[in-house]
């Protein structure tokens, strides 16, 4: 997964505008107590970050 696909999926799940705020502020234990953006900036692969987001948002299996 590329960064652009990650951001597209997050926007589809949360809506335009809010997805970026959520990525900056929502901290996940699965990402070592970092937000999605912090994890991506630290070099965590987008696929791994998406997996944590998918679980946190309790998205349907089709979104995995």
Tell me whether residue 63 is in a domain: no
Among the listed residues 19, 18, 27, 20, the one whose alpha carbon sits nearest the alpha carbon of residue 52: 27
**Domains in the chain, number:** 1
Range(s) of the domain holding residue 46:
3-58
Tell me whether residue 7 is in a domain: yes
Tell me whether residue 22 is in a domain: yes
Tell me whether residue 11 is in a domain: yes
pLDDT score for 35: 98
| Rounded distance between C-alpha atoms, residue 24 and residue 15, angstroms | 15
pLDDT score for 28: 97
Question: pLDDT per position in the chain (64 positions), as tens?
Answer: 999 999 999 999 999 989 999 999 999 999 999 999 999 999 999 999 999 999 999 988 888 8
Task: Count CB atoms within 10 A of the CB of residue 18.
Answer: 12
Tell me whether residue 41 is in a domain: yes
35, β-bridge pairs: 27
């Amino acid at each position: 997964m590329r960064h652009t696909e990650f951001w597209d999926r997050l926007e589809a799940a949360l809506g335009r505008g809010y997805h970026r705020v959520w990525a900056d502020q929502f901290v996940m234990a699965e990402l070592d107590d970092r937000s999605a953006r912090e994890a991506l900036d630290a070099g965590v692969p987008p696929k791994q970050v998406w997996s944590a987001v998918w679980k946190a948002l309790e998205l349907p299996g089709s979104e995995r």
